[in-house]
Amino acid sequence: MLTGAAPVRQLDPHAVDELTETAHKILADYGTSAARPELLRRIARSASRLGETIHQVCRPVDTDDGLYVLRGLPVDDEGIGPTPTSWATAGDRAAAWDLILLLLATVMGHPIAWEGQQEGRFVHNIVPSPGHEDEQTGASSTVLLSPHTEDAFHPGRAHLLLLACMRNHDAVATTAASIRKVRLGADDIALLSRPVLPILPDDAYAAARSFAGGEPPKVPALWQTEAGPTLRYDPAYTPLDEAPADYRAAYDRLTAELERVSVAVALEPGDVLVVDNDMAVHGRVPFRARYDGTDRWLKRASVRVPGRRSRPYTEADEHGYGQTALVALS
């Protein structure tokens, strides 16, 4: 695993001022970052008026790394208050950052939320939470958060994932690996391109995990597009023991290759990591949470890119385990 190897796009001071001033103006007018329809419409109007520099740094991921870091935005460590111990208690903490993320997400495409996750919020607070240390979710800490495609179980998952760092005193690394950098044999690619196994909902989706409206759909782990290979991958929620031995072996080789090309990025406050969710998987190294207000704190936004053709047409037939995405249209 390589450390810190991620392309960086630097925001100039004028662009930083434009983004932060726009976010604070919206917050002053609405008094909250809770994404009501009228606030989302205001964000869409404001995003369309942002300068060309911001639109340029928000251009699509354009390297085989499958990600980049947007750098230059400031975070006031004292002003944002202590790290919450749960997304449910975060409320409007660092609310201006919710709006900054939504502005960036709207420049890139359509922000999405999920009815079954964090009460339908468009920006999630990712913090370690007592009692969840060993889960394969963003609330964990002491275990390795396995590399995965965000919301891999759902056909309406995001094309882009934005992770904004509020606090990271312990330099806890986010990991990422791009399918465009792995080396797999033709036989493995052929096997993994077949719909052999389902991907089940993760622990953050209680209603989806109890869904009884149909059999879990079997999905391919890999497929080819005009731009190159893409993937849909979440080994922690894939019942690999139900697959034939040759498929499991190919999946193991994919896992080993993703580990070989993985990078570890210790985000600094103000960094926004942008991950192409079709090209790269992401995770997190283990750490020990203190629950004293100084722990790692990220904010997360998800984006669909209109008109993007990066997924098999068969995904349209999936039931999505009853989960519905809420889409903020520009």
Q: SS3 string of 228-258? A: EEEECCCHHHCCHHHCCHHHHHHHHHHHHHH
pLDDT class of 131 with cuts at 50, 70, 90 = confident
Q: Identify whether 330 is part of a domain.
A: no
- Indicate if the pLDDT at residue 22 is higher than 80: yes
Per-residue model confidence (pLDDT) at position 35: 87
- Indicate if the pLDDT at residue 187 is higher than 70: yes
The alpha carbon dihedral of 8, 14, 18, 24 has a sign of positive
Cα 104 vs. chain centroid, distance in angstroms?
Answer: 14
Tokens of 35: 């994404």
The one-letter amino acid at 99? L
The one-letter amino acid at 174? T
* Percent of the chain at pLDDT exceeding 70: 98
* Mean pLDDT of all residues in 53-59: 97
Q: Which domain holds residue 194?
A: 2-320
- Indicate if the pLDDT at residue 116 is higher than 90: no
CATH number, domain of 210, equals 3.60.130.10
Q: Would you call 218 helix, strand, or coil by DSSP? A: coil
Instruction: DSSP for 49-96, please give it.
Output: TS-HHHHHHTSPP-STT-EEEEE-----TTTT-SPPSSGGGTTTTTHH
Q: Identify whether 90 is part of a domain.
A: yes
Per-residue model confidence (pLDDT) at position 4: 56
- Indicate if the pLDDT at residue 147 is higher than 90: yes
More confident of the two residues 42 and 143 = 42
* Mean pLDDT of all residues in 292-298: 97
pLDDT single digits (tens) 209-252: 888 889 999 999 999 998 899 999 999 999 999 999 999 999 99
Q: Identify whether 329 is part of a domain.
A: no
CB 325 within 8 A of CB 205: no
- Indicate if the pLDDT at residue 3 is higher than 80: no
pLDDT single digits (tens) 310-330: 898 889 899 999 998 999 886
- Indicate if the pLDDT at residue 179 is higher than 70: yes
Nearest to 71, CA basis, from 18, 8, 19: 8
CB 310 within 8 A of CB 225: yes
Q: Identify whether 325 is part of a domain.
A: no
- CA of 11: how far to CAs of 33, 50, 61, 72, in Å? 23, 13, 16, 5
Nearest to 197, CA basis, from 237, 231, 159, 229: 237
How many independent structural domains does the chain possess? 1
Per-residue model confidence (pLDDT) at position 158: 97
More confident of the two residues 264 and 207 = 264
pLDDT single digits (tens) 258-267: 999 999 999 9
* Mean pLDDT of all residues in 290-306: 97
CB 96 within 8 A of CB 209: no
Mean predicted lDDT score pLDDT of the chain: 94
Return the top range by mean pLDDT from 109-113, 307-311, 312-316.
109-113
* Mean pLDDT of all residues in 39-66: 96
Per-residue model confidence (pLDDT) at position 203: 81
pLDDT class of 309 with cuts at 50, 70, 90 = confident
Q: Identify whether 167 is part of a domain.
A: yes
Q: Identify whether 327 is part of a domain.
A: no
Q: Identify whether 328 is part of a domain.
A: no
Per-residue model confidence (pLDDT) at position 138: 87
Using alpha carbons only, give the angle 121, 90, 32 rounded to the nearest 5 degrees.
60
Per-residue model confidence (pLDDT) at position 28: 97
Per-residue model confidence (pLDDT) at position 330: 65
* Mean pLDDT of all residues in 290-316: 94
Q: String of b and e for 231-267 (b: at least 16 CB within 10 Å)?
A: bbbbbbbbeeeebeeebbebbebbbebbeebbbbbbb
CB 55 within 8 A of CB 107: yes
Q: Identify whether 270 is part of a domain.
A: yes
